[in-house]
Chain A
């Protein structure tokens, strides 16, 4: 048991961290915004917090707060022009932002350019990760059913119709964009103090897509979806590694191939995400029953 924990503690930590990132994407997805800016915000949060603890010897809680606040503040002026865009255009504009952030840090000597910062003090504990995920999840869960929660759902479903009921689209979309930036920044700060290092190459386009995939595979109809997606897809490669060992298969490309197949199957057969799996199974059983 102890060796199991020792082996898989870091997998568990990354499941939580990725859960937080999936929730940051959920913030914008839940009101119908396809934003891919969160890898950039995460990068900013990671560097802001790491510079504070490493260079200024600031206390960790302060660094965490800065990790969330700095990207959130930057999201305000960015959100005003960018959120006028919709769908794929918003996605492209936010990809551009992410690349801008990455290139900025690659060229910034203060944070050692492409090398980034290393030997950051390790302050992030599993408990802190659990607490962060719990707090953000609680927030989203309570948002649902509130006046603002209904406004967000309405914007996701039909923005023009929502606006004729007095819902200001720009205001809520901006608020959720900023919230998503804060959550991504917090995740960045937590990760920096977990892995000892931050480098710009870790926050590229691939990272932004990963977050989106976790959220969508998990399902975005409920807050549990993005969490489930991140947990599942983070644990899956490790589970397959263990399974491969058990049947005597060498790890490597085969494992990632199986990983991809499972991902494809989820997207094909559960279009509403993993979180909708029980409902999908029930519907399937009902159909079976009706046929016989």
Chain B
């Protein structure tokens, strides 16, 4: 699903977190968003997912304006996300977290459950099976029944990705999915992202792991102080003088 940002701005009091950000995420691609800390990356993700409204500008998803819609309406259109500061449901197990994610796609009339119909039991089994399969895919099948707050940091990130995927999104926003992971785990997540994109899901990826961004992304948008300072292929962006200045400082 195509995502288009047109002049998106957002200020918090006197702080201009985003200023006129415009770029397009093409369907089925992995689109990286990079930039130094405080550049406005997470604010951008919050605006796309409806957690925050923009002060001005438009967000268009699949030809439909979504800025100003509440998060659950945006999610219903097929956009789910993970959070930089992991937000699992702590008292629920890993597999239950993923089951919550199926809310958008699970069709389970409560009536059948109240009447103790076998179809309801079957449906629940299938749903749990799908959730387990996703946990298997992100590599934590053995810890599916573990309370999610007891999982390691890296495992929690993976549960969160599985939870977002279980909604069968058409656009997936990942906010630093490999933070706190070792290189092997990170490349596992990279492989998963590539698989997800090749299945036709657009992925917006905020990531500090430069190698991962270069490997995965077909396009990269660079933010600095709330402005888009570069937008293009990873190769083009990495030699862009404005980007080098933003990261390393200007040559004297």
Size category of the binding interface on chain A: 20 to 34
User: Is A160 a contact partner of B71 (Cβ separation < 8 A)?
Assistant: yes
Q: Quick check: A157 and B83 within 8 Å, CB to CB?
A: no
From 77 to 125 in chain B, residues with beta carbon under 8 angstroms from any chain A beta carbon are 80-81, 83, 87-92, 96, 99-104, 106-108, 110, 113-114, 116, 124
Query: B51, A143: Cβ atoms under 8 Å?
Result: no
Let me know if B80 and A145 touch, CB within 8 A: no
Residue among B49, B91, B116 with most chain A CB within 10 A: B91
CA A221 – CA B93 in complex, angstroms? 13
Select which of A158, A163, A221 is within 8 A of B72 by beta carbon: A163
B91–A165 contact, CB under 8 A? Answer: no
Segment with Cβ contacts to B, from A46-54, A146-154, A184-192: A146-154
Interface string of A148-188 (1 = CB under 8 A from B): 10110110011011111111110000000000000000000
Determine the distance from Cα of A166 to Cα of B107 in the docked complex, in whole angstroms: 13
Which residues of B lie under 8 Å from residue A165 when comparing CB positions? Answer: 72, 75, 80, 100-101, 103-104, 163-164, 167
B236 within 8 A of A: no
Q: Does A80 contact B (CB under 8 A)?
A: no
The verdict on A158 contacting B89 (CB below 8 Å), with A153-B96, A165-B167, A166-B72 known, is: yes
Q: Of A138, A163, A221, which one neighbours B71 at CB under 8 angstroms?
A: A163
Verify if B188 is at the interface (C-beta below 8 Å from A).
Answer: no
Q: Are A142 and B114 in contact (CB under 8 A)?
A: yes
- Assembled-state Cα–Cα distance A154/B167 (Å): 14
Q: Please give me the residue from chain B that is nearest to A144 by CB atom.
A: B113
Report how far A142 CA is from B74 CA in the complex, Å. 29
Q: How far is the CB of B105 from chain A (nearest CB, A)?
A: 9
Q: Given the complex of chains A and B, what is the CA–CA distance between A169 and B103 in angstroms?
A: 13
Q: Are A142 and B89 in contact (CB under 8 A)?
A: no
How long is the Cα–Cα vector from A143 to B83 in the complex, in angstroms?
28
Q: Are A167 and B72 in contact (CB under 8 A)?
A: yes
Contact among A150, A153, A160 with B51 in the assembled complex (CB-CB below 8 Å): A160
A146 contacts B108, CB within 8 Å? yes
Pick the residue among B49, B75, B89, B116 that contacts A157 (CB under 8 A): B89
Q: Which residues of B contact A104 (CB under 8 A)?
A: none
User: Residue A139 at the B interface, CB < 8 A?
Assistant: yes
Instruction: Give Cα A23–Cα B114 distance, bound, in whole angstroms.
Output: 17
- Of A147, A161, A162, A167, the contact of B83 (CB 8 Å cutoff): A161
A164 and B76: CB pair below 8 A? Answer: no
Please name all residues of chain A whose beta carbon is closer than 8 Å to the beta carbon of B81 when the two chains form the complex. 164
Nearest 5 CB-CB pairs, A to B?
A: A157-B89, A166-B75, A166-B104, A161-B87, A163-B71
